[in-house]
Copies of this chain bind each other. A is one copy, B any other.
Amino acid sequence: MPTDAERACFEAGIKFGSLYHQFAGTPVSPDSAESLGRAMEAAIENQPHCVDVDVAVRTDRIAAELDAQSADYTELTGRFMDVGMRIERAGVTVRTRMEMDGDYPTMQLVDVEPDGSNG
């Protein structure tokens, strides 16, 4: 049988995959970034066991991309967002983060804490 911690990590992964693939491809510009980040947070926080989602859409990187192309918006992809999440299930708290590993956005388990631990 999977442990409570393993189940909590599975739930954390679901939230990350959901957030990424629901919103990747969305037209985004520096002006629309803030509203998109807020909607992503609120949408994924609806999912079970998802306590907190923090999305910072990287307007600096979007602006740099726009300087190098002809259109004045681009499509949301991993390098344009910093994401952190907190999932709680059956007393286990899982923290996750998305960060760039070179050119590839990786989703990372930051820590897994049973209830009452000092983490």
Residues of A within 8 A of B (CB): 1-3, 5-7, 9-22, 24-29, 31-32, 35-36, 38-48, 69-73, 75, 77, 94, 96, 101-104, 107, 109, 111-112
Contact = CB atoms under 8 A, between A and B. Distances in A.
Nearest to A78: B75
Nearest to A44: B27
Contacts of A38: 35, 38-39
Number of copies: 4
5 contacts: A2-B9, A6-B109, A22-B27, A32-B43, A35-B35
A-B complex: 9 closest residue pairs judged by Cβ atoms: A13-B13, A17-B17, A24-B25, A39-B39, A32-B42, A17-B18, A46-B73, A21-B22, A13-B14
A35 B24 contact: no
A6 B112 contact: yes
| Residue in A24, A44, A69, A111 with the greatest tally of chain B CB atoms within 10 Å | A24
Contacts of A27: 18, 22, 43-44, 46-47
Contact of A35 (B3, B12, B39, B109): B39
A102 to B, nearest CB: 5
